[in-house]
A = this chain, B = another copy of it.
């Protein structure tokens, strides 16, 4: 456990400013939030279904994801999270977790007490607005995933998730030139999109064969952005970014 510093909270500020406008006072107040930092190994739960956490978690480095478990080992991944995200922000007003939160890769995480966030919201209405707005964007992304899982083909779903994660990373300065780190396994993609890993594999081979995507070391390369967007019917409006993401 260590204490927060301006540099530690930079990802959070960057993220909030990608979806909202903060006054100087609010930005400063956010930087002053007390935070304890911890490093967790890959595939470790941060918060579990049914728990009642007393703090929110900011992803500082690495990727995390939220998921629900069903009977017979079925699993649904609800979202992927990257630096700057606060994946359990909803716990501020929903006492009981209705899903779990885990690290995907090794992560540096910052934990901020609920009471500090409540105080922030009370004294800085535009900080409150930014956080509320963050949870609303979260919901907008759920809606988009829902329509993908419900009504898109496997090809469309997979194309869509690549587009979305690229834009998400690009918005916080962690990706450009249609390349980004891609630590998500095919099993993970399957659990996120309601597909089997086998089918994900076949579809991804297909996308590679068609020259839409490629891989270089640990990076995903999107060779044909327009084609991928068309295939996934991707339109970033639902992400509600304040600034335009670079194409």
A interface, CB within 8 angstroms of B: 50, 66, 68, 70-71, 74-76, 78, 90, 93-96, 98-99, 122, 125, 128-129, 132-133, 135-140, 142-147, 149-152, 192-194, 233, 237-238, 240
The complex places the Cα of A75 from the Cα of B152 at a distance, in Å, of 10
Contact across chains for A151 and B75 when beta carbons are under 8 A apart: yes
The complex places the Cα of A138 from the Cα of B78 at a distance, in Å, of 14
Residues of B within 8 A of A145 (CB): 146
- Closest CB-CB distance, A146 to chain B, in whole Å? 5
The complex places the Cα of A194 from the Cα of B50 at a distance, in Å, of 28
List 21 A–B pairs whose Cβ atoms lie within 8 Å, in order of A's numbering: A50-B237, A70-B152, A70-B233, A71-B233, A74-B151, A76-B146, A76-B150, A76-B151, A90-B140, A93-B132, A94-B133, A94-B140, A98-B240, A99-B143, A135-B136, A139-B139, A142-B143, A142-B146, A145-B146, A150-B192, A150-B194
The complex places the Cα of A147 from the Cα of B68 at a distance, in Å, of 7
Interface of A is mostly: helix
Residues of B within 8 A of A93 (CB): 129, 132-133, 136
- Closest CB-CB distance, A96 to chain B, in whole Å? 6
Contact across chains for A194 and B151 when beta carbons are under 8 A apart: yes
The complex places the Cα of A66 from the Cα of B74 at a distance, in Å, of 28
Contact across chains for A144 and B98 when beta carbons are under 8 A apart: yes
Closest chain B residue to A131, Cβ basis: B132
**Contacts A122-B125, A137-B94; A78 near B146 (Cβ below 8 A):** yes
Contact across chains for A96 and B149 when beta carbons are under 8 A apart: no
User: Out of B90, B132, B149, which one reaches A194, CB within 8 Å?
Assistant: B149
The complex places the Cα of A192 from the Cα of B143 at a distance, in Å, of 11
Top 4 A-B pairs ranked by shortest CB distance? A150-B194, A76-B147, A139-B139, A142-B142
The complex places the Cα of A128 from the Cα of B129 at a distance, in Å, of 10
The complex places the Cα of A194 from the Cα of B157 at a distance, in Å, of 13
